[in-house]
Copies of this chain bind each other. A is one copy, B any other.
Amino acid sequence: MSKAAETRQMILQKSFELIYRQGYQATSIDNILATTQVTKGAFFYHFKSKDEMGLALINEVLYPGMYANMVTPLIDARDPINQIYAMVRNLLIKIPFLRAKYGCPAINLIEELAPLKEDFRKALVRLTEQWQDAIAQTIEHGKEDNQIRIDVNSKHAACFIVAGYAGIRNMGKAMGSACYTPYLLELKNYLQLME
């Protein structure tokens, strides 16, 4: 990677962390410059505007991260129910970068920007749909293997599961990680009713 590409990546990475903790609008460009030690000239050389940087951040940082943690663990699932549960559990309590207090980066961005910026909304919908599809497919595989009842509607269930995750991430921002435990216990109950 060229030096310039490294600078660009570093800006995206640090901005991602700041925005995760503070929100997109509350994170000023000057704030980013101060923590990256990059000058304004460099920033606006790599990105036409703050929004262009934000979009790049979604596609180049958020998307790969979500794919690795939310889609990959489901590929070729041999034990769909437990793998879905494990994936959600891992997201909640096994990724050190993600803190209950700050929620989930993708959910945060949807909350803040979906109603305000159409291009952000579209980019974030793609993320959500990809995760939801991966879950639905996993459930379908489970049905083929007779591990999941055939009357389970995989798309409805996937929607329900994604909503639950998004919601507990929101709740965790207010209540702390303590609320993850009852949620996970009940998620397990819900999932086991599918078999």
**Chain A residues packing against B (C-beta within 8 Å):** 21-23, 25-26, 101-103, 107-108, 110-112, 114-116, 121, 124-125, 128, 153, 155-157, 159-160, 162-171, 173-175, 179, 182-183, 185-187, 189-190, 193
Contact = CB atoms under 8 A, between A and B. Distances in A.
Interface of A is mostly: helix
Contacts of A112: 23, 111-112
B173 A115 contact: yes
Contact of A174 (B21, B22, B110, B171): B110
A120 B97 CA distance: 24
A162 B156 contact: no
Contacts of A179: 159, 163
Contact of A170 (B21, B157, B166, B183): B166
Q: In the A-B complex, list the 8 residue pairs whose CB atoms are closest, starting with the nearest.
A: A167-B167, A166-B167, A163-B167, A160-B186, A111-B111, A163-B168, A156-B186, A156-B182
Residue of A108, A124, A170, A179 with highest tally of chain B CB at under 10 A: A170
A183 B166 CA distance: 13
Given A128-B171, A159-B186, A167-B167, A23 B21 contact: no
6 contacts: A111-B173, A153-B182, A156-B183, A156-B189, A163-B183, A167-B167
Q: Which of A112, A155, A159, A179 has the most CB of B within 10 A?
A: A159
